[in-house]
Chains A and B, each alone.
Chain A
Amino acid sequence: MANDSRRSYKLEVWVTAICFIIVAVTGGFFSSIVVIMNETFFNQVPTPEGLVNSYGETMFVFKEHLAVWGFPLHYFLLIFLSWIGATLVGAIWCLVMDRLEEKQRA
C-alpha cells in the first residue's frame, strides 16, 4: 500500500513536471531559443531604402525552405504548440490525474 502510494505520488509529480516543462517551452523559452539561433531561421538581406530608418541597414527574412503551409517554421510551431499542443498536453495530464484520483479513492 505504502509502495503504491509512493508510486502514485511520483507519477503525479513527474507527469506534472513534464507537462509543465512542455508548455513552458512554448510559453517563452521557444521564442528565446529562436532569438539565440537567429541565423538558423533567418537570412540577413539589405533593407529596402524606404524602410532603413525603421529597421537599419539590413533586415532579416525567414528561410523559405523552412516553411510549413506557407508559414515560417518557428511561427507555425509557436501557434500550433501553444494551441493544439497545449490542449493535447492538458488532456493527457487530465487523463492521468483522473486515473490517479480513482486509485486514491480506492
Chain B
Amino acid sequence: MEPRGEVFVLGLILSVIVLIISVMISVWARRLTRNLGDYYVAGRSIGALNNGLAMVSLALSLITFIGLTALIIEGLYVAVAVYASFTAAFIGLMVLAAPYLRRHKSFTTMAFISERYDSKTLRYISVIVMMIVSVLYLAGNLKGIGIVFFFLLGVPEVVGIVVGGLVVTLYVTLGGMYGVTYNQTFQTIVLLFCLMFPVAIVMRALGASGWVFPPFGYGDMVPQMTEAVPHYFWAMVTHPVVYIAIFLGSFFGIIGLPHFVMRFFTVRDAREARWSTVICVFLVGLVNTTVYATGFAAVYYMQAEGVDIPSAAYDYVVFILVETLAGDSWLALAVAGSVAAGLSTVSGLLMIMGAGLIHDLYGTIKPEVDDEKKLKLSYGAMFFVGIAVIIFSLDPPEFILEAIMWSFGIAAAGLGVPIVLGIWWKRTNKYGVGAGMVVGSLIAFIGWIMIGYMGMDPVDIPFPFFANYFYGPLGWIKVIAVAVPISFILTIVVSWLTPPPPEELQRQVDEMHGWSDVDPKRYNSKILPVVIIILSIFIMYFMTYEPEGTDFPRLEGQEHTLRDRD
C-alpha cells in the first residue's frame, strides 16, 4: 500500500479524538488515586465487566489490525491456530491462576513469586524476566502506531511514535491503574465498533451470505479461497509438535505475562476475576474470528475481482478493503480503532514495567521507604519508562508477531511455570523454582537471541540434541517445546530433592484456594507432578516423531525441510 500523499483529515480527526479522550479519562481517574494501592491495582475495586473489557484491549494489540491478516492471506492455517490457542488460553489462565492470584493479594507477578516462595532472589530474577518479556512484547507496538499514522493519515512515522508514546505515557503516569483500566475499557469499545462494522460492510460488498455476522459468515467464499491458496487449510505445513509448542507458549505464557496477571489484582474478589475472564475470552474470540474473516475476504477479493494486492501491503489489507469497498468514513473508524488497539497494549506494559521497577525492585532494595514516597517515585519511574520506550520504538529490532511469540515462550518458562506450580503443588520450593525459571527462561531467551535477533538458522544453534529437530517451517517455535517442559521438570525434581517449604508458605496455597482451614494433604498429591513430568518428557520426545510421507512446503525464510535435513 502506497503511503497517502495527503493528510487523511477525517481519520486524523477521529484518531486525535481517541487520543484526547484517553488523556481526559486519566485526568478524571487521577482524582481516584490516593495511595499506592490505588495507583498500582486501582484499589482492588474493578468489577468483572470493566476488567473483562480492559483485558480485551490488552489482548488485542495492533497486530490484530496489521499483521495477522497478512499471515492469513499467505495461507497459514498455523496463523489461525496460534490465535485460536491464544483465545482458549484465557480459560487456561482462569482455571489455573486468575482467582487464586486475586486471593493472594499481591500487587504484581514478581511480588507473588517472591512472597509465595519467600525469596528476594526470585523477586530480582522475576523482575529481569518481566523486563525482557515486556520489552519484547512492546517491540513494534508503538512502531505500529507510527506506521498507521504514516500510511493512513499521511503524518510522518516519527510523529506518530512520539505523539502516541507521549499520550500513553501521560495517561499512565497521571491516572495510574484507574486511568489505564478505564482507558482500556474505552479502547475496547472503540476497537469492537471500529472493526466489526467496517468488516461487515466489506463482507456485504463482496456478497458473503452471512455478512451480518462476519466470524462465521464467509463459508461460501471457501472454494475461491482454496483455489488461490491451495494449502490454506492444510495443518501439515508444520511439524505437529509446533502446535503443542504454541499451546505451551500461549497457555503458560499468558499466565506468565505480568501485564495480563496484573489485571486480576485489580478486581474486587475471586468471583469477579473469574467472570471477567469469561467476558474477555468471548470478546477476544469475536474480534479474532472477525480478523480471520477479513483475511478470507482479502483472498476472495483478489481472486474474484482479479485485483493484485502486493504482498508488502498485506499488513494493511483491513484498511485497503475498507477504503475500497466501504468508503472513507468507515476507513476513518478502522484507523481510529487501530490507534486505540496500539495504545491499550502499550499502556498495560508501561504500567507493569513501572510497578516492577519501583514496587518490586526499589521497594525490595530499600524496604524502609514509605508508600507515599514510593507513589511519588512511581510517577517519575512511569514517565522515565515511557520516554525510554518511545526512544526504543523509533528503531525496534523486529516487528510484532515473532517478538510476541518469543516473549510468550520466555514468560511461560520463566514466570508461568512457577505461578502454576505455586498455586497447585504445595511441595514446590524456592530452589526448584530458581532452577526451573532460570534454566527455562534462559533456553527461550538464548533461542530468541540466536534465532530471532542474530538470525541464525534454528538447526544451526549450539543446542545439544534438540537443535537437530528445530527444522521445518516455524521450526524455531519448537524451542518453546523444550524450554517449558524443562522448566517444569527442573522445578519439580529439584523441589523434591530439597527440603519442603515451611508450613506458613504451604498455608498460602490453601488460602489462595479459598479454604479457611489448612489440610496438609490438599494440593500435595504426587500424581500431579508425576503426570506433568511424564507429559513434559513425552512432548520433548514427540519432537523426534516424523510424520510419514511428509515433505513440508517451503515458506519464505524457512530453508530447512525434512528432506534437507536427511
Contact = CB atoms under 8 A, between A and B. Distances in A.
B365 interface: no
Contacts of A56: 551, 553
11 contacts: A28-B81, A28-B243, A29-B243, A31-B81, A47-B230, A69-B219, A78-B80, A79-B80, A86-B285, A87-B91, A94-B271
Contacts of A89: 91
B522 A28 contact: no
A54 interface: yes
A61 B226 contact: yes
B374 interface: no
Interface stretch (B33-41, B427-435, B438-446, B508-516): B508-516
B234 A82 contact: no
Interface stretch (B24-32, B186-194, B276-284, B339-347): B276-284
B226 A62 contact: yes
A23 B241 contact: no
B133 interface: no
Nearest to A1: B517
Contacts of B292: 79
A86 B240 CA distance: 22
A54 B251 CA distance: 32
B96 interface: yes
Contacts of B218: 70
A92 B216 CA distance: 24
B236 A60 contact: yes
A24 B80 CA distance: 16
Contact of A32 (B234, B243, B271): B243
Nearest to A71: B219
B240 A36 contact: yes
Interface string A76-103: 0011011111110111011001101100
B84 interface: yes
Contact of A31 (B221, B243, B271, B285): B243
B80 A90 contact: no
Binding site secondary structure of chain A: helix
Contacts of B219: 67, 69-71
A98 to B, nearest CB: 6
B514 A104 contact: yes
Interface residues of A, number: 58
B490 interface: no
Chain B residues touching A, range: 35 or more
A28 B246 contact: yes
B281 A87 contact: yes
A51 B239 CA distance: 21
A19 B278 CA distance: 13
Interface string A55-78: 110011110000101111011001
The 3 closest A-B pairs by CB, nearest first: A70-B219, A28-B247, A83-B285
A43 B501 CA distance: 56
Interface of B: 77-78, 80-81, 84-85, 87-92, 94-96, 99, 215-216, 218-222, 226, 230-231, 233-236, 238-241, 243-248, 250-251, 270-271, 274-275, 277-278, 281-282, 285-286, 288-289, 292, 513-517, 519, 522, 547, 551, 553-554
Binding site of B, secondary structure by majority: helix, strand, loop or mixed? helix
A15 B250 CA distance: 21
Contact of A70 (B220, B251, B278, B551): B220
Contact of B85 (A28, A59, A87): A28
Given A19-B95, A87-B285, A94 B88 contact: no
Given A51-B230, A79-B292, A90-B281, A23 B88 contact: yes
Contacts of B95: 16, 19-20, 23, 90, 93
A14 to B, nearest CB: 12
B270 to A, nearest CB: 7
A75 B233 contact: yes
Nearest to B542: A32
B506 to A, nearest CB: 15
Contacts of A47: 230
B553 A55 contact: yes
A62 B230 CA distance: 9
A35 B240 contact: yes
Contacts of B240: 31-33, 35-36
Contacts of A33: 240
Most buried by A among B248, B251, B514: B514
Contacts of B553: 54-56
Nearest to A91: B278
Given A59-B230, A79-B80, A35 B235 contact: yes
A77 to B, nearest CB: 10
